[in-house]
Amino acid sequence: MSATVVIGAQWGDEGKGKIVDLLADRSDVVVRFQGGNNAGHTIVTDDETYKLHVIPSGILSPGTLCVIGNGTVVDPGGLCTEIDQLQARDIDLSGLRLSGNCHLIMPYHVMLDGAAEMKLGRFSIGTTRRGIGPCYQDKAARVGIRAQDLLDPKILVRKLEIALEAKNEVLEKLYDAPRLDPAAVAEEQLAYAERLKPFIADTSLLIDQAITGGRSVLFEGAQGTMLDIDHGTYPFVTSSNPIAGAACTGAGVGPTRISRVLGVAKAYVTRVGEGPFPTELDDAIGEQITTRGKEFGTTTGRQRRSGWLDLVALRYAVRLSGITELALTKLDVLSGFPTVRVCQEYETRDGERLREMPYHQTVFHGCRPVYTDLPGWEDDIEGCRERSALPAAARDYVDAIGDALGIPVTLIGTGQGREDVIQQPDAPPAS
Ligand code: GDP
Ligand code: IMO
Ligand code: MG
């Protein structure tokens, strides 16, 4: 039995797509378990760049079952577009499955997301405006529309009528936005339903059968630990739980079925959207990292904020997800800096040193990073595939991170391409 959860250990965009694509080659099933098309997972092959939003990153590995689990929120129109785009590039989608229990992002969710952000003005969260928050809100309020509703037009129309009765009031009265006609929304969704029906399945059962049959299953997280709705930098978070435990609820598997948790972290940190970021660099070095790392959002194209590696936040991620090993991506981006810094501790406004993430937001907002400086390396390491070929300072940097976290670094990213990676012998999933 081999079930590995891959999660983002920072603020998202750690390179999960690339890592999942790599491991998918040795996996039978890849499952997305939370988030929606707020995610943008990039895979760069020899001559193509793929940007996946809700379809699992195993889709480029022929024969892999790719499951969109019940914990995700799915925009039917967005999913159809993603399917079309992949089909136009001759990608086989016969292995795609969609949980009948996942909640659907309706046009009013997208409108409400945008309107709420506008209203918040300078207090906005900087969401991707894909309707993620409003859709999860409806799920919790038990007025959501689920994929299985697409299979029964009568139920779909009735549910849309009920939902829109309230939504239209909010759209019109609170946000001065146009009302939506339930019949028109239903008609549009039913057109998507025709296309999505063949993919809808009991995905929890499929995953269980795969694990029981000794097949290798990967769970692909979206976003990152610090964007977790419970444990992240609330309210500057997403509306789901990107930590490993969510793979169980979001895919319908028990915790005893999971054997490994692979955290993915950049060799530095980026964040897109608003919210606190202790190691953020708003200087020339930050700009250099952003430019060299091509740090522009996969989904929204927004420029990402960059900073040095934050070990306090990473230690927190290891704790929250029980991370057993780390994939450290984008090490190549740090080449050429005379010194590379890692934040080992925070210093609070009162001068107290913290090794662990403070639970209170006021303390966290006042924290300043305490850095250890490590020697940098000059050589370009892009495309390096052997650890022994790395400059000694780069190896020491990786080892310092593994030592500080108490877990092995089993994968090291050295470039955008799917082959640009150093793999340690025990890289998951081990057979
Ligand atoms: P995800 O959301 O975690 O899948 O990450 P994104 O795809 O949004 O952002 C990561 C970006 O870094 C993408 O453009 C990847 O192609 C790129 N990337 C991933 N790993 C590496 C690496 O090791 N080196 C470099 N230079 N780029 C990488
Ligand atoms: P991947 O899977 C980075 C951020 C948004 C915003 C906050 C809330 O590619 O790593 P939302 O639209 O989810 O309500 O926005 O979360 N965010 C991400 N940041 N990577 C992502 O996904 C993200 N998905 C959402 O920028 O700050
Ligand atoms: Mg991304």
DSSP 305-331: EEE-EEHHHHHHHHHHHT--EEEEE-G
Alpha helices in 129-264 (DSSP H): 132-141, 153-169, 182-196, 203-212, 246-251
Kindly tell me if the per-residue pLDDT of 60 is higher than 90.
Answer: yes
Any domain includes 98: no
Q: Which ligand is nearest to the CA of 14?
A: 1
Binning pLDDT at 50, 70 and 90, where does residue 300 land? confident
Q: Are residues 392 and 288 in the same domain?
A: yes
State which residues form the domain around 188: 103-198
| Chain segment 173-200, per-residue pLDDT in tens | 999 999 999 999 999 999 999 999 999 9
Q: Are residues 191 and 207 in the same domain?
A: no
d(CA 133, CA 159): 19
Q: Which of 50, 105, 137, 223 to mutate to test the pocket of ligand 2 (most atoms within 8 A of CB)?
A: 223
Q: Which residues are catalytic?
A: 13, 41
Q: Which ligand is nearest to the CA of 132?
A: 2
Q: Are 257 and 211 in contact (CB under 8 A)?
A: yes
DSSP 273-292: SSS--TTB--SHHHHHHHHH
Binning pLDDT at 50, 70 and 90, where does residue 431 land? very low
CA of 154 to the centre of ligand 2 (A): 34
Q: Are residues 254 and 313 in the same domain?
A: yes
CA of 43 to the centre of ligand 1 (A): 8
- Among residues 160, 181, 198, the one where a domain terminates is 198
Binning pLDDT at 50, 70 and 90, where does residue 2 land? confident
What 3-state class would DSSP assign to 410?
strand
At 339, the amino acid letter reads T
Counting the structural domains of the chain, the total is 2
- Among residues 161, 180, 198, the one where a domain terminates is 198
**Nearest atom in ligand 2 to 129's CA:** 12
The CATH number covering residue 252 comes to 3.90.170.10
Q: Are residues 133 and 240 in the same domain?
A: no
- Among residues 151, 177, 198, the one where a domain terminates is 198
Q: Are residues 374 and 391 in the same domain?
A: yes
Q: How many CB atoms lie within 10 A of CB 388?
A: 7
Binning pLDDT at 50, 70 and 90, where does residue 425 land? confident
Any domain includes 91: no
Average pLDDT, the chain: 96
Please tell me the residue having the least CA distance from ligand 1 atom 11: 15
Any domain includes 429: no
The pLDDT value recorded for residue 424 is 84
At 408, the amino acid letter reads P
Give the pLDDT mean for 69-93.
Answer: 98
Kindly tell me if the per-residue pLDDT of 213 is higher than 50.
Answer: yes
